[in-house]
């Protein structure tokens, strides 16, 4: 891992949540390294070594789903933590994988120093607890949607969530480029089904596309697709 990449020591959740007296310790213990688009940062089943943060770029966090499919659990963008699901006494292997969606810079903290950070920085520990609570609620919502929501609603929800997280670029596109397969993995559907649903949304003028880029044209009608009386 390269260690010579400059960092402002104030971008990620870790640096923002810790007391300023702890920042020199973080600077001395963190390891920043470049990743290429499509590079696997760690794989499901790898031995646990530490915790990661995104300094630049976007990362998808995913898990095997059946023999040859994956389910994207979440996306981590600038400043976000990932690999944290290994926290706990009995966690020895990563239960998920992480892959760079684009070229970027990742910050790595080994587990021993991360645990020391939690003990010394109660504000950071509190923020991390709130993050875990939000993530648990989101995981429960996705499980409920997989069980009850039609695929069209799940694709609509995925697009809305992506726009909420990444915002839009000057052209109005959701500011992250995903393959249709990634969109399918995030919505919990097959590629063929998502391809059909995206075409339906295009015909209904709820979204527009430009290559891999997607814009939401009619948010209100798209949002209605996520509402189901059974939920």
Over the chain, what is the mean pLDDT?
89
What pLDDT is attached to residue 6? 64
Handedness of CA 136, 116, 56, 181 (dihedral sign): negative
CB-CB contact of 83 with 65 (8 Å): no
What pLDDT is attached to residue 43? 94
Q: What is the pTM of this model?
A: 0.87
CB-CB contact of 174 with 163 (8 Å): yes
């Amino acid at each position: 891992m390269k260690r010579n990449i400059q960092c402002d020591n104030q971008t990620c959740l870790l640096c923002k949540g810790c007391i300023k007296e702890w920042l020199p310790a973080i600077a001395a213990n963190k390891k920043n390294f470049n990743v290429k688009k499509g590079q696997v940062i760690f794989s499901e089943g790898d031995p646990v070594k530490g915790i990661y943060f995104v300094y630049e770029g976007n990362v998808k966090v995913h898990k095997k789903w059946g023999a040859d499919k994956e389910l994207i659990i979440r996306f981590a963008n600038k400043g976000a933590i990932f690999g944290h699901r290994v926290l706990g006494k009995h966690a020895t292997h990563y239960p998920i994988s992480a892959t760079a969606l684009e070229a970027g810079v990742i910050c790595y903290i080994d587990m021993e120093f991360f645990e020391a950070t939690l003990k010394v920085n109660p504000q950071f520990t509190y923020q991390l607890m709130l993050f875990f609570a939000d993530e648990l609620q989101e995981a429960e919502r996705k499980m409920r949607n997989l069980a009850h929501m039609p695929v069209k609603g799940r694709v609509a929800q995925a697009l809305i969530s992506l726009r909420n997280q990444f915002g839009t670029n000057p052209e109005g596109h959701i500011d992250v480029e995903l393959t249709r397969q990634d969109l399918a993995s995030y919505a919990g559907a097959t590629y063929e089904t998502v391809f059909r649903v995206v075409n339906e949304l295009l015909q209904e003028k709820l979204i527009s596309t430009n290559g891999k880029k997607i814009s939401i044209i009619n948010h209100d009608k798209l949002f209605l697709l996520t509402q189901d009386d059974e939920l």
